[in-house]
Amino acid sequence: MLLRRGFPLPTILVALLLATGCAGGGQPGRSGGAAASTPVPAAPANTAAPAAPASTAAPASTQPRAYQPTPLQPPVTVRVGTVNSTSDAGIFIAMEKGYFRDEGIEVETTNFQTAAQMIAPLGTGQLDVATGAIAAGVFNAAARDVPLRIVADKGSTPGPDWDFSALMVRKDLIDSGRVRDYADLKGMTIATTSPGNSTEVEVVWALAKGGLAFEDIHYTSLSFTDMISAFANGAIDAAIVIEPYISRIEALGTAVRWHGVSEFYGNHQVAAILYGPGFVRDQQEVARRWMIAYIRGLRDYNDAFGPKRQGRDEVIQILTKHTPIKDPRDYDAMRPAGLDPDGKLNLESITTDLEYYQRAGHVTQPIDLSRVIDTSFQEYAVSRLGPYQR
């Protein structure tokens, strides 16, 4: 049984609410939703205007040029749920390079298969931090008055170089010319990991590019591992797949990366860092410090996989230690997950996905995003660290 340790502090919650719209007023829909026959929408914008800086942030005139942490005494243990994917890189890098230790934080990780499995322990305080896809379950938990908070980026698709999620199509369908455009997906069997999550949203947006709706396909749910054999035996025609499974399936020659998510959606906020209610309420200083260490890890990740290619070997060694991808050569074949070096969330993408979940019937209660999204921790960390040097 995990014991909780913390420092009660005043509660400061920065609320934000981003109103969004899409060209033509239409959004993709599916059965059970109110807009199943809506016109093809324009993709969400790649960026959204941030909320006003949190009152916890240091004034611009006093921001240090070089961050010099003073660790908490005694150290505080923070319990974090991970899915051991490459999009957890910011956490793993911060652990291995001592950034959490610099803040007086000891990170205790527990591996889960999905973010959905983390919601209950996050709500009860068995976890302080959760990671994973922003699925309908996150919003449903908020509707049940579980005051969890989406606080920072943990995986997005800002452009082709960071397209770690893609729509794959069986190679024989491409070679034969059966699939040439999005409209050709009609009637096909398409898989995602589960309904009501970010991969379903991505399928809906791809279908909308061809004037199709979710009802125009045969849907099935499979794990990424099972998709490998399903492509090989012809059980599925297409699927939303993430790295490293994209590269593995391509190497087998059974399916091809057809279109990256950034091509048909734009910058999709696939996954996020979530703080539990007790962590936000009772350990504000620890939560701020955890975020500082995390963003330092994100910046090392961007240094390694971005144009700088700085510290790449070291970062790959860390990822081979903490993820199932053990061969360093695999990282040259893969497209890395987009991880914003400031941890900034794409707020418009989150709002757009919530609207889809509501129309599709996955989320049935009204959701006040100002009670779900809290960027104050991310903004505070950036105010202490200064801007990322690109």
The pLDDT score that the predictor gives to residue 178 is: 98
The pLDDT score that the predictor gives to residue 172 is: 98
The pLDDT score that the predictor gives to residue 66 is: 82
Helical spans, DSSP H, in 244-346:
245-252, 261-264, 277-282, 284-305, 312-322, 330-333
Q: Is residue 311's pLDDT more than 70?
A: yes
Burial 27-40 (b: 16+ CB within 10 A, else e): bbbbeebebeebeb
How is the beta sheet containing 76-82 ordered, strand by strand?
A: 105-111, 76-82, 129-133, 271-275, 149-153
The pLDDT score that the predictor gives to residue 115 is: 83
Of the pLDDT bands very low, low, confident and very high (cuts 50, 70, 90), residue 65 is low
Alpha carbons 110 and 10: distance in angstroms, whole number: 28
State percent of the chain over pLDDT 70. 83
pLDDT digits 0-9 by tens, 75-98: 999 999 999 889 999 999 999 999
Over residues 243-257, mean pLDDT: 95
Model confidence, pTM: 0.83
Of the pLDDT bands very low, low, confident and very high (cuts 50, 70, 90), residue 147 is confident
Alpha carbons 196 and 361: distance in angstroms, whole number: 9
Residue 170, token pair as written in the block: 């069986």
Percentage helix, strand, coil, to 5, in the chain?
Answer: 40, 15, 45
Over residues 253-263, mean pLDDT: 98
**Distance from CA of residue 359 to its chain's centroid?**
21
Q: Is residue 306's pLDDT more than 70?
A: yes
Q: What are the structural domains of the chain? A: 160-264 (3.40.190.10)
Alpha carbons 359 and 136: distance in angstroms, whole number: 12
pLDDT digits 0-9 by tens, 322-338: 998 999 999 999 999 99
Over residues 288-294, mean pLDDT: 98
pLDDT, averaged across the chain: 86
Phi, psi angles (nearest 5°) of residue 223: -70, 160
> Using DSSP, how many helices (H) and how many strands (E) does the chain show?
15, 10
